[in-house]
Amino acid sequence: MLGDDDDVFDSVTWESPAPATAYNNELVLSGPGFRQSTTDSNEGPLDPKWEGYLITSVKDPVKELADTKDAYVSYLVQAKTNLPIFSTTTPSARRRFQDFVFLRENLARDFPACVVPPLPDKHRLEYITGDRFSPEFMERRRNDLARFLQRLSRHPTLQRSTLVRAFFESTEWHVHMHQHIAHPPGPEPSPSIIDNISDTLLNAFARVRKPDERFLDMREGVDKFEEGLTLSERLYTRIRGRTSDHNLESGEDLTADYHDLAVAVQGLGFLESGITDQLNHFSNTLLEFSALLRHTTQTTTDPLLLHLHSLLSYSHANRAVLKLRDQKQLDFEELSDYLSGVTSERDRLAAVISGHAGSTGLGLGAYIKDRVDAIRGADDDRSRVEKMRKLDIKIKELQDAVTTAHDTSDAFSDETLREQSVFQFAKEAEMKEMLGNFADGQIEFYKAAMEEWERIIPIIQRIRVDV
């Protein structure tokens, strides 16, 4: 919990402290991450605001320290931007995977209300087999890291963070990392009364008693979105396996079936001497179509599956923010209940001291507690007065904590509403890109397939059939 004097969201900034610079006339950009104006009359107070654009790329993976046990891969990260926080419009630097991990972990810590995109999992088979330096793995990793930076660049808060700026600009990145760890942005959270409450009170499995309908609808939307992504991933994984799974035992590799059919047709050509040339051409067309199927799987279906899985992980990060918002509300509700219980106990003691214990209406529980106190020898008025004094101090602390928890919960809710708008923009942009690329790949496949089969038709027609 934050202290009384701490700003509730000092590390989450939605308004830029400086005006945006002039924009490059050659860049006419719009959409998530490219919005130029923060004075749109159609925007509400909870709508996110972009101050400029940040276009990122990850290129040129290079194996560093190749002949040593400390070998690693570095990537060239580049950007084009008009954000005033950057000192140049075209920053660039070389970074390794661990640098991306540091960036992601510290952004998640510094901006708890933001959906910080996930990184690809490092615990993969390639790290065990030693294939993490293969060109295929490095290219796949480069593509995943490029998508990570693209998601950061689309976020109106994260794109303007000092850590992102240093990631692209700093020539002394390791020094900056140590400084960031030693002096993180914003004040250190001070211990508060909520940290001292028993775990049995603030139970991780407790549910919000007064859920906000807006966030219930958001959670339902996230559930349906993830369900759709999971189903799509499962179906296209099945399609990919039936088309080109490289598993001869499965009997469902369509590319292998076309290859076998080509071999069979070629064998017929040796038997049918009059149409050997035509059958050989047909066999070659089958081989070309088999290769085209395999190429389409690698260039269209595989990227789709990777993007679906990545988008699902991104949605999990969004779900985590919604869960954290619920936790903030739960903190407020549990603290309020705790305050109510302490206040009741203080009132009970006051009633006992004044001799009107029966009029407090506190019931059998209070009576039993009085009897237990009497048995323990804590029944004298002096001990009750001392206990009341301590309860008064605790009540004051709890009242301050409840006020802080209420302010934090409300502020986090507002930030979450903005964050859902940002995630919606990013999600729509990625869905458009993902499905557009898949559609382009399918169009290219069917055009190439039509050209292959149309070329064989005149050759087949030259076969003479005597009736």
Amino acid at 436: G
pLDDT band for position 198 (cuts 50, 70, 90)? very low
Q: What are phi and psi of 377, to 5 degrees?
A: 80, 20
Q: For residue 247, what are its two tokens?
A: 């598993």
Q: How far apart are CA 320 and CA 324, in angstroms?
A: 6
Per-residue pLDDT tens for 5-23? 444 444 443 333 333 333 3
| CB-based contact 456:285 (threshold 8 Å) | yes
pLDDT band for position 361 (cuts 50, 70, 90)? very low
Q: How far apart are CA 464 and CA 111, in angstroms?
A: 75
Q: How far apart are CA 211 and CA 412, in angstroms?
A: 14
* pLDDT confidence of residue 233: 94
Highest mean pLDDT pick, 30-39, 123-132, 327-336, 348-357: 327-336
Residue 44 has pLDDT above 60, yes or no: yes
* pLDDT confidence of residue 245: 67
* pLDDT confidence of residue 61: 92
Q: How far apart are CA 323 and CA 317, in angstroms?
A: 10
Q: What is the mean pLDDT of residues 129-153?
A: 87
Residue 248 has pLDDT above 90, yes or no: no
Name the burial class of residue 153, with classes exposed (0-12), middle (13-18) and buried (19+) by CB atoms within 10 angstroms of its CB.
buried
* pLDDT confidence of residue 374: 61
Q: Which residues pair with 62 in a beta bridge?
A: 74
Q: Which residues contact 466 (CB under 8 A, 6 or more apart)?
A: none
350-388 exposure pattern, b = at least 16 Cβ within 10 A, e = fewer = bbbeeeebeebebeeebeeebeebeeeeeeeeeebeeeb
Highest mean pLDDT pick, 121-125, 225-229, 405-409: 225-229
pLDDT band for position 247 (cuts 50, 70, 90)? low
Residue 192 has pLDDT above 60, yes or no: no
* pLDDT confidence of residue 463: 81
Q: How high is the mean pLDDT of the chain? A: 80
Q: Which of 91, 89, 114 is nearest to 104 (CA)?
A: 114
Q: How far apart are CA 193 and CA 191, in angstroms?
A: 7
Q: What are phi and psi of 431, to 5 degrees?
A: -60, -40
Q: For residue 362, what are its two tokens?
A: 């506190």
pLDDT band for position 162 (cuts 50, 70, 90)? very high
* pLDDT confidence of residue 70: 81
DSSP codes of every residue in 148-186: HHHHHHT-TTGGG-HHHHHHHH-S-HHHHHHHHHHS-SS
Q: How far apart are CA 452 and CA 467, in angstroms?
A: 30
Higher pLDDT, 35 or 90: 90
Higher pLDDT, 119 or 351: 119
Residue 191 has pLDDT above 60, yes or no: no
Q: What angle do CA 112, 117, 119 make, to 5 degrees?
A: 120
Q: How far apart are CA 161 and CA 169, in angstroms?
A: 12
pLDDT band for position 102 (cuts 50, 70, 90)? very high
User: Which strand (E) or helix (H) includes residue 93?
Assistant: strand 92-96
* pLDDT confidence of residue 364: 55
- Provide the 3-class DSSP secondary structure of residue 66: coil
Per-residue pLDDT tens for 272-289? 777 888 899 999 999 999
* pLDDT confidence of residue 125: 47
Q: How far apart are CA 163 and CA 13, in angstroms?
A: 14
Q: What is the mean pLDDT of residues 408-418?
A: 90
Q: Which of 330, 232, 271 is nearest to 1 (CA)?
A: 330
User: Which strand (E) or helix (H) includes residue 78?
Assistant: strand 72-81
Total length of the chain: 467
Q: How far apart are CA 368 and CA 232, in angstroms?
A: 61
Q: For residue 98, what are its two tokens?
A: 């661990």
Q: At what angle do helices 381-461 and 302-354 cross, to 10 degrees?
A: 170
Name the burial class of residue 30, with classes exposed (0-12), middle (13-18) and buried (19+) by CB atoms within 10 angstroms of its CB.
exposed
Residue 2 has pLDDT above 70, yes or no: no
> Which of 1-10, 308-317, 320-329 shows the lowest per-residue confidence on average (mean pLDDT)?
1-10
> Which of 37-41, 183-187, 366-370 shows the lowest per-residue confidence on average (mean pLDDT)?
37-41
- Provide the 3-class DSSP secondary structure of residue 63: strand
The two beta strands, 54-64 and 92-96, are unpaired
Per-residue pLDDT tens for 297-308? 999 999 999 999
* pLDDT confidence of residue 28: 37
